Copies of this chain bind each other. A is one copy, B any other.
Amino acid sequence: SRSINLAVIPGDGIGQEVVTEGLKVLSAVLPQDVKLETEEYDFGARRYHATGETLTDADLDALKRHDAILLGAIGDPGVPSGVLERGFLLKLRFAFDHHVNLRPSKLLPGVATPLAGQPEIDFVVVREGTEGPYTGNGGTIRKGTPHEVATEVSVNTAFGVERVVRDAFARAQARPRKKLTLVHKNNVLTFAGHLWTNVFTKVAAEYPDVTTDYIHVDAATIYLVTDPGRFDVIVTDNLFGDIITDLAAAVSGGIGVAASGNINPSREYPSMFEPVHGSAPDIAGQGKADPTATVLSVALLLRHLGHDAEAARIEDAVSADLAERGALPARSTSQIGDALAARVAG
């Protein structure tokens, strides 16, 4: 489409800083005839401290009218653990049915990795985003007593598993290696595990050109550090995806460059794009944050909206910038943003 109506949620800590650079690069890459409208929303810790609100129905109605959402980071040590996560981030993922949580991992030339021997890493994790242990099902009895029992219920449906598995097969088929790995723990979590495994096997029959395999989540963490090149596309449940994508980010350049999309492929609701990193209050306001993860999230956003050429221009600019970084003196958040904006415009 020739216009983009974007909701922008800078959030807390370094969120504002990195989002500013993301928007800078977005403006620079878009052709003249694509009209970019942005509306900023002041969600996060500041608002919670001021009003006690995290995300109201009116907020959701407002966000719903946008084509997509760009999020910086949400969170503040002054807010009790879980309040903003469950009350904002997860509430939004669930309300807008962001069932495809897309997290690419690519170790770009010149980028440092904690792994010896600079292995080739280029895979994408399709993490289910609306089920599993993230539903908030469960509860507590006898809280605070020696007899407290707390439960967490992982909820998995054929509907929910099948749609994300299909999405992952389609993505695998579109990549050169055409390989899809299911990651679960089906030898212990046998109820959910059998559902995932059966759906995966059923859908695989429709994609004879996609090579498939299965790995337990514990073994997957071993492969991610000993042989990350074995992965092309991974599909996995919400919690396993949370865990392995942080590890994947760590081995492929760190969370400074890890992008993610919370995608509703039906486009019934706007999808949301955000760096994997958090609000990093310790370095906030100092111009030290790396905006690269946000800029790469903007590329995912553009691809989701059909602007593939512009997405590729951003990714190329990031590759070129990262390749030269080692030779440059340290730059500030906005200097990196300027450099990337110049590259995509050039």
Contacts and interface: CB of A to CB of B under 8 A. Distances in A.
B194 A222 contact: no
A282 interface: no
A133 B151 contact: no
Given A140-B191, A148-B158, A221 B222 contact: no
Interface stretch (A21-29, A44-52, A239-247, A330-338): A239-247
Interface stretch (A57-65, A248-256, A288-296, A309-317): A248-256
A144 B161 CA distance: 13
Contacts of A86: 187-188, 190
Contacts of A145: 158
A151 B158 contact: no
Contact of A155 (B144, B149, B195, B225): B149
A156 B142 CA distance: 12
A162 B147 CA distance: 11
Nearest to A254: B226
Nearest to A189: B152
A146 B157 CA distance: 8
8 contacts: A81-B186, A81-B197, A115-B115, A134-B188, A138-B154, A138-B192, A147-B157, A149-B158
> 9 shortest A-B CB distances, which residue pairs?
A218-B246, A221-B247, A148-B158, A152-B154, A150-B195, A150-B191, A85-B187, A222-B250, A82-B190
Interface of A: 81-82, 85-86, 90, 113-117, 133-134, 136-140, 142, 144-159, 162, 185-195, 197-198, 217-219, 221-222, 224-226, 239, 242-247, 249-251, 254-255
